[in-house]
Structure 1
Amino acid sequence: MAMITLQTLFIAFFGIASVAFGVSVFRTSSMMRSALALLFSQTALGAMFLAMQAEFLGVLQIMMMATEMSIMAIFMVMFMMDPGGLGEMEMTHQKQLSILAGVAGALVTAGIALFTHWGADGVAAPAAAEQTRALGMELLGRSMLIFETAGVTILTAMIAATAVAMPALQRKKTS
């Protein structure tokens, strides 16, 4: 019983941390701080997966977000006029519409959660090792071509972005 309570405590802690860092993404006027807050938010989400004993998903989430946010931060430093956010900069747009959409979405989600009949409890989930094995079979089975294509596409986009950035960097060095 104490293990369940401790696990629930960790899930709640990382969930709250993820939401708090997610909010701070939009509260800062710096693209760099925003990227770091997004990294911390997604890392907390990965830690939630780890706390739920979904080790594969947790480690994958953390590794993907660390790589993605590092690349994003590098490109922001290269191309942003003020990546540190030291100058005056407004990072939010359509504030009233955004607030209205957020409140409406929260109310709809709460309504669905509270007023939907969810049925009887499901069967117990398989062990963590069995879940990881089933996920691996799914990824390496019928979805393999999709994932391989997505990986090659992302790699091509990164190489193309670097190739496009190289002339701009060389012009900066010569001027």
Structure 2
Amino acid sequence: MGGNFIIVMNIIRLSILIILGLGAIWFAWRVFMTSSMVRSALSLLASMAILGMMFLVMEAEFLGVLQIMMMATEMSIMAIFMMMYMMDPGGMGNMDMSHQKKLSIGTSLVAGAMVIVAVSFSNWETIATEVPTPAKQNYDLGMELMKRSMMIFETAGTSILVAMIVSTATALPFKNKKDD
């Protein structure tokens, strides 16, 4: 009974992953098909949140929660800045959001073919016989982030914060004292 239960659960997980993957692809496609920058940001948020849910289904809870939290914050800030700086953030005008359509379609077809060829002709190693438990994987990832990579993340976070402050400061109107 235990073996059948595991097989059924794996089939259910695989089915959920396929459904979530298709949803992520659909929302990613919607990012480029809308003329509204706000709807584009929300579609990107949905796509990234679905990727976080896929991590959760694969029992990588730390990565899943981190993905969802980071993308929710990032896309919210992006939507706010797009509404501040774009001429037509709501997409109500006749602004076309797609550029160089033939070139981008050709490039995506060539890149897709290259990925398929690379995956098809790669020399894949044998499947791992021992896999650490999800708790051990999360522990190892946390130790990696807190040791070697912490300075990189701290520097990137500080740089992003400075960029947000600078861009907000440059958007503020400058009043000259001589004008009074």
Shift of 1:125: 2.0
Hey, what does 1:51 align to over in structure 2?
Answer: 57
Instruction: Give the corresponding residue for 1:102.
Output: 108
- TM-score of the pair, normalised by structure 2: 0.89
Match of 1:115 among 121, 138, 155: 121
The corresponding residue for 2:131 is: 125
| Residues 35-76 of structure 1: per-residue CA shift (max 9 Å, x gap) | 111111111111111111111111111111110111111111
Write the mapping of 1:7-46 to structure 2, written as runs, cut at 5 A.
7-46=13-52
Q: For 1:130-141, what aligned pairs fall within 5 Å after superposition?
A: 130-141=136-147
Corresponding residue for residue 173 of structure 1 = none
The higher radius of gyration belongs to: 2
Inter-partner Cα distance in structure 2 for 1:81 and 1:104 = 33
Amino acid at match of 2:164: M
Counterpart amino acid of residue 16 in structure 2: F
Supply the AA of the counterpart residue of 1:20.
W
* Aligned counterparts of 1:23 and 1:62: Cα–Cα separation in 2: 19
Q: How far does the alpha carbon of each residue in 1:91-145 deviate from its partner, in whole angstroms, 9 at most, with x for none?
A: 1111111111111111111111122221221233211110110001101111111
Partner residue, 2:178: none
Identity %: 53
SS in 1 for 2:78: helix
Q: Which residue of 1 aligns with 2:3?
A: none
Partner of 2:4: none
Moved more, 18-27 or 123-132: 123-132
Ranges in structure 1 where 5+ consecutive residues have no aligned partner: 171-175
Structure 1 stretches of 4+ moved >4 Å: none
Among 94, 97, 100, the residue aligned to 1:91: 97
3-state secondary structure, aligned to 1:167: coil
Indicate which of 49, 52, 66 corresponds to 1:60.
66
Q: RMSD of the TM alignment (CA)?
A: 1.4
Aligned match of 2:172: 166
Find the aligned partners of 1:58 and 1:81 in 2 and give their Cα distance: 35
Structure 2 letter corresponding to 1:60: L
The count of aligned residue pairs is 169
Matched residue of 2:116: which SS? helix
2:6 is aligned with 1:3: no
